Amino acid sequence: MNVLPLDDPRLTAMGLLSEVSTGLSDKTLPTLAAAGLSEIDFETLIRLARSPGQRLRMSDLAAQTTLSTSGVTRVVDRLEREGLVTREACATDRRTSYAVITETGLARLGDVLPQHLADIEAWLTGLLSPDRLSAFLDALRTIRDAVRPCATAGAQAPPSGEAGSCEDPPGRPPSRRSPEDRGR
């Protein structure tokens, strides 16, 4: 008879991670909803606000949010209708466009961030000592970098001579966009 490894700590790790993620969403969603934002709306706005020039290429925004390119287009379309985001064409590549947070989008973030940060403090960071929080963040970054290497696409310009973005498949030369464009 084959014994199932039901007490394997790897199963426990995945279960705990899932439970924590779901629980945190349950605790933070009411604040976002009160501000008229879904989780993906908030994630889109905060990523744009924290990016260089407060803008990202649509493809990088898709990579950061785990949405498909069509999914991120729908989100940006909705946020654009609400005046929270605009689109800008790339001056050097007609195929590329940027999502840019507007002043109205920044104001909406300003309205929701104080309570959202209080929620995060109450249900996540405040539960850990500074040393444990630092170790936790390091561990999360290690895992994130392994399972979602494109999660920071466009967050900074790549070092000279490196591939421009997660759009450049391994083993192929980097895209022909300018170095300034590649880092956005």
Q: Residue ranges of the domains in the chain?
A: 30-147
pTM (global) more than 0.85: no
* pLDDT value of residue 95: 87
What average pLDDT does the segment 158-170 reach? 39
Is the Cβ–Cβ distance between 31 and 112 less than 8 Å?
Answer: yes
Model confidence band, residue 164 (pLDDT cutoffs 50, 70, 90): very low
The pLDDT confidence band at residue 156, using thresholds 50, 70 and 90, is low
Residue 28 has pLDDT above 90, yes or no: yes
Q: In angstroms, rounded to a whole number, what is the distance separating the alpha carbons of residues 95 and 5?
A: 50
Q: Specify the CATH number of the domain 30-147.
A: 1.10.10.10
pLDDT of residue 15: 96
Q: CA 124, 144, 37 angle in degrees (round to 5)? A: 55
Write down the H helix ranges in 1-102.
9-34, 39-49, 58-65, 69-81
Task: Tell me how crowded residue 11 is: count the other CB atoms within 10 A of its CB.
Answer: 11
Q: Give the type of residue at 107.
A: A
Locus of tokens 């561990």: 139
- pLDDT, tens digit, 9 for 90 and up, residues 49-66: 999 999 999 999 999 987
Angle at 47 between CA 123 and CA 107, to 5 degrees: 85
